Every structure is written in structure tokens, then in C-alpha cells.
Amino acid sequence: MQISENSIRQLYGITSSQDFSFDRKIRALLEFGCQRLGLPYGTLTKRVGDHIELEFLHDPDQNLMEHTLLPICESFCGLTLEREEPLVFEHAGQSIWGTYPAYKALGLEAYTGTKVMV
């Protein structure tokens, strides 16, 4: 997927805004990513032992809540943390990803994840 000049301008507008707090920038980036990729949910998670915490969340249906802890084995985040490159897939139920406990627990058909180093 090639990123358009308009998308780059939008990303720059979000990240360089003096009016947005750090939290607002993260939320805006999650919303942008969901719109751009056509995904319903966006999260920024944090590893807490053998769980992940939904630190920031874009969920228009409000099915999930921020700061919820989920077992890392019921999330694709654990696999993402083990990799150097991003983890990206679509149609999980029709592929090997449909056999993973994370798919069975959450039913995510598409996933895009990468490490964020702070």
C-alpha cells in the first residue's frame, strides 16, 4: 500500500500540532490508522508481565475499555513483540492465523502490529 501525499500531510498535522497533547496525538493516530486501513479497532498496548494493557484505544463501538488487561496469549501482541518486523495479515479465519488462541479469543480478522520503543 502506497501512502498518498494527503496522508503524509495528515500525519504531519497530527504529530506536529502544538494544540494536541500527547494523549490526543496517540488517539488521532489510531483513528487515522483505522480509517486508512479500514479496521474497526486500534490500540496501543503495553506489556505488563504475561498480560497486555490496552493503554490507548480507538473503538467506535466502545466494546473494549482502556486499561483492560488481557492475557498476552489471547492477543497477537505477544507475537508482534517477538518479531523485528511488523506483523500484518488479513482474513485470519481463512489462514493459519485462524488457528491461534488470539484469533479464537478475539476473532480479529485483520491485524497490523509493530513494536513501539519508548
**Residue-wise pLDDT tens digits, 22-32:** 999 999 999 99
| pLDDT of 102 higher than 60 | yes
Four-residue CA torsion sign, 29, 33, 89, 43: positive
Tell me the three state secondary structure of residue 111: strand
Taking alpha carbons only, the member of 37, 43, 45 closest to residue 90 is: 37
d(CA 25, CA 14): 6
Given a contact cutoff of 8 angstroms between Cβ atoms, the answer to whether 89 and 111 are in contact is yes
pLDDT tens column, 57-86: 898 888 778 888 989 988 899 889 989 999
Taking alpha carbons only, the member of 83, 103, 77, 82 closest to residue 91 is: 103
